[in-house]
């Protein structure tokens, strides 16, 4: 350790009590985190790239400082999807400090990692008060049946109005309109279910029909439109 001349000439003065860091809530316990291995928790965060063309939702499950599980979901940028694929090979098995200082390929993913790091080290995780936290694999619950991200895609213009394209239920194939041309329901295809049926041996047309459902007052519609073609 190198000290300046001014410090060297100072006489020592004893400090008061050394209380250590304030305890933070972690998986149902209050922990005085002093080392990176003292950190545990599952949490989510969102990041964005510099031009704000796309965004990333990152879910991490940290046990004893190590990232044991990562869910990387991206939207708005085609290149970002490939960045997520590469980041998935880089992020798990690292401590949260290592991951913070790892190039996770995409600016949005790096930003999400920064936001999660802040949540985790300050004890703001989703599992802060959950005894034992959540098991590795809990991140998949965000995806639901069929293991697909929950995506909402809608488009609207003042001249022609809204077009629902995809919502949590699935890919929208028809919009149901009432006599005032207002949307009162829609028909959708749940892609996860359809692909599971096809992989199970069902013919594609039958799988499509089986995975198609309706929402709202679709049956009461005066007319229907294809939101991508009409």
Q: How far apart are CA 168 and CA 198, in angstroms?
A: 21
Mean pLDDT on 49-64:
94
Q: How far apart are CA 42 and CA 174, in angstroms?
A: 38
The pLDDT, as a whole number, for residue 148 is: 86
State in Å, rounded, how far the first CA of the chain is from the last one.
73
Judged by DSSP in three states, 117 sits in: helix
What percentage of the chain has pLDDT greater than the value 70? Answer: 100
The pLDDT, as a whole number, for residue 45 is: 93
- Model confidence over 127-171: pLDDT tens digits? 999 999 999 999 998 887 778 888 899 999 999 999 999 998 999
Q: How far apart are CA 60 and CA 90, in angstroms?
A: 13
The alpha carbon torsion through 17, 22, 26, 30 (nearest 10 deg) reads 50
Average pLDDT, the chain: 94
Question: Is 20 a residue whose pLDDT tops 90?
Answer: no
Q: How does residue 17 score in pLDDT terms, banded at 50, 70 and 90?
A: confident
Question: Is 221 a residue whose pLDDT tops 90?
Answer: yes
Mean pLDDT on 111-123:
95
- Both tokens of 77, joined, read 């940028």
Kindly list the distances between the CA atom of residue 170 and the CA atoms of 74, 184, 185, 221, in Å, as whole numbers in the listed order: 17, 17, 13, 20
Judged by DSSP in three states, 99 sits in: helix
Question: Is 188 a residue whose pLDDT tops 80?
Answer: yes
What are the start-end ranges of the E strands in the chain?
A: 24-26, 29-31, 41-48, 55-63, 66-75, 153-157, 161-167, 170-177, 183-189, 212-216, 223-225
The pLDDT, as a whole number, for residue 209 is: 94
Judged by DSSP in three states, 223 sits in: strand
């Amino acid at each position: 350790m190198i000290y300046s001349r001014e410090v060297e000439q100072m006489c020592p003065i004893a400090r008061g009590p050394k209380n250590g860091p304030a305890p933070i809530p972690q998986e149902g316990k209050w922990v005085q985190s002093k080392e990176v291995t003292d950190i545990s928790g599952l949490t989510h965060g969102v990041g964005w790239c510099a031009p704000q063309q796309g965004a990333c939702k990152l879910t991490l499950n940290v046990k004893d400082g190590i990232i044991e599980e990562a869910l990387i979901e991206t939207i708005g940028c085609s290149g970002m999807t490939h960045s997520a694929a590469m980041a998935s090979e880089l992020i798990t098995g690292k401590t949260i400090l290592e991951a913070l200082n790892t190039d996770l390929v995409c600016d949005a993913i790096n930003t999400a990692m920064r936001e999660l790091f802040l949540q985790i080290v300050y004890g703001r995780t989703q599992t802060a008060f959950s005894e034992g936290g959540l098991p590795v694999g809990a991140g998949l619950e965000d995806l639901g049946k069929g293991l697909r991200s929950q995506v909402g895609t809608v488009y609207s213009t003042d001249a022609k109005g809204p077009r629902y394209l995809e919502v949590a239920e699935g890919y929208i194939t028809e919009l149901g309109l009432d006599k005032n041309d207002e949307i009162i329901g829609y028909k959708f295809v749940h892609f996860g279910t359809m692909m599971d049926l096809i992989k199970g041996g069902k013919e594609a047309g039958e799988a499509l029909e089986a995975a198609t459902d309706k929402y709202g007052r679709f049956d009461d519609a005066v007319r229907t439109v294809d939101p991508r073609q009409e």
